[in-house]
Structure 1
Amino acid sequence: MHEENNKTIENPPSQWWLAKHGVAEGPLSHQEICDALQSNKISLADYAHSSNEKEWKPLTAWSEFDSGTEEAGLQSPPAPPVESYPTDPLITNPRLPAMANWICIYTLQIAPWLWFLYVISQMTYGTVLDEKDPLMGVEALAMFISMLVSLGVTISLFIGGARLRALSRSGPNIIILSIVVATAVHLLLSLWGIGIIAMADQSNFASKTVAVELINYFVVIVELCEWAFLLTTLFWLRRNAHFLPLT
């Protein structure tokens, strides 16, 4: 026990002083200097004095503070693996903010089901004009083009959402382009449909049952909510895409 106490007295922990503007700051511990290096408060070019050696030397000259120690302290660790997060990696990505994950959920899960809903509702509702009206074929063609365009946009959104979830920089660009194309085509088809109805004879409108009309109203409400989300997504991505951790 006496020998151990002698060793402790003979080899006390080293203390350090730093030279700052001609003034010695200290005493400091080895850990305090390492912490200062990590936070960039000091550099390896600063002079230090140790209680074990009676001279001033730059920190880079001390073996306790070699370049490898500084690089290990100053470099940030890589991002944790996705597998370490509890979030389901198949739909969302824990490295993305909440709004970006909602976009992934919409593009990968909700949008495909909404496309099926719109197709079924259009097939159930049918055309506005009766078969006797000569413009009924033009309206049917507009409905067919609308379904094809919406299918293409849905597939494009799915691809963009998958790449966004994978932290690919092309993901937001694909989603933005898809929304812009969908908005432009939707407006053109809406004007086309309004023109057809305006030129048609009012007596040639097809009659609909109450149930079909209620389904149509429900689909319209869902579509309005979807467009509100799409426009919000468009503006959010244009403003925040460059802040996302994408590669």
Structure 2
Amino acid sequence: MHEESKQTIESPLNQWWLAKNGEAEGPLSYQEISDGLKSKRISSADYAYSSGGKEWKPLSAWSELESGPEESGLQSPPTPPVDSYPIEPLLTNPRLPAMANWICIYTLQISPWLWCLYTFSEIISGTALKEKAPLMGVEALAMIISMLVSLGVTLSLFIGGIRLRALSRSGPNIIILSIVVATAAHLLLSLGVMVIIAMTDQNNFASKSVSVELIDYFVFLVALCEGAFLLTSLFWLRRNARFLPLS
């Protein structure tokens, strides 16, 4: 008798589906649903569909869960109701893996604030050369170019992040191109700064206060961390972009 009861519960004719993140999860047996409710892994407010029913409704509204399982014909469930979809966060997408969501958070939230930080620090620090130094104009021009390039890269990353979050295939391509451009531009500007330093007499360098030097040191550490994340994102996207659920 016990064996017959167990077979009835686990019969493939008794099938249930749960609405999780807007998708049908299943089929599940009556016993799996019952065990999930007891362990609180499944909530009675979760939407469910039975192979013997005609619509989705919360588990608490199914009388079959109170009276026991009943056999019914096999059939696929309809589309889960809109109420079963979660509220999507502003910066991420639940369909993307963790690293892709971190890239979205960086491009949409962190990168714009970092640009403001770098711009503010450059205004506070000023030029490294004195006003009457022969190459002071070259350094000032390099600073303006650096700010404009970083602004363009920040906007490009922001657009790429929006498209990546929207599961657009152009999103990773825009982000990869932006990182490559940013890396190349920073390498060229760093090389130019080294040339300026080599061609300038030590007496033409402006002195800085301790607070300004601390700000420069902090910004340098932040830039190193950002650079490490950008390179990690670049390699990760080049390797995994084709596996993302993009269209």
TM-score w.r.t. the length of structure 1 is 0.68
Which consecutive unaligned segments of at least 5 residues does structure 2 have? 1-10, 15-26, 28-72
Q: Which residue of structure 2 aligns with residue 84 of structure 1? A: 85
Which consecutive unaligned segments of at least 5 residues does structure 1 have? 1-28, 33-38, 40-68
Q: Which residue of structure 2 aligns with residue 148 of structure 1? A: 148
Tell me how far apart the structure 1 counterparts of residues 244 and 83 of structure 2 sit (CA, whole Å).
16
| 206-215 or 128-137: bigger deviation | 128-137
Give the share of equivalent positions with the same residue, in percent.
72
Q: Which residue of structure 2 aligns with residue 159 of structure 1? A: 159
Moved over 4 A (4+): 76-83
1:58-114 CA-partner distances (Å, limit 9, x unpaired): xxxxxxxxxxx99x75xx9889979812551x2110000010000000000000000
Tell me how far apart the structure 1 counterparts of residues 83 and 108 of structure 2 sit (CA, whole Å).
19
1:17-47 CA-partner distances (Å, limit 9, x unpaired): xxxxxxxxxxxx8849xxxxxx9xxxxxxxx
Superposed, which structure 2 residues align to 1:98-247 within 5 Å?
98-247=98-247
Distance 1:112 1:180, change over 3 A: same
Tell me how far apart the structure 1 counterparts of residues 150 and 95 of structure 2 sit (CA, whole Å).
30
Q: Which residue of structure 1 aligns with residue 70 of structure 2? A: none
Corresponding letter in the other structure for 2:86: Y
Q: Which one has the largest radius of gyration? A: 1
Tell me how far apart the structure 2 counterparts of residues 79 and 132 of structure 1 sit (CA, whole Å).
72
Corresponding letter in the other structure for 1:222: V
Asked whether the 8 Å contact 1:150–1:182 carries over to 2, the reply is yes
Distance 1:126 1:30, change over 3 A: closer
Q: Which residue of structure 2 aligns with residue 50 of structure 1? A: none
Superposed, which structure 2 residues align to 1:5-24 within 5 Å?
none
TM-score w.r.t. the length of structure 2 is 0.68
Tell me how far apart the structure 1 counterparts of residues 225 and 96 of structure 2 sit (CA, whole Å).
24
Tell me how far apart the structure 1 counterparts of residues 237 and 127 of structure 2 sit (CA, whole Å).
36
Equivalent pairs counted in the alignment come to 181
Report SS of the residue matched to 2:216: helix
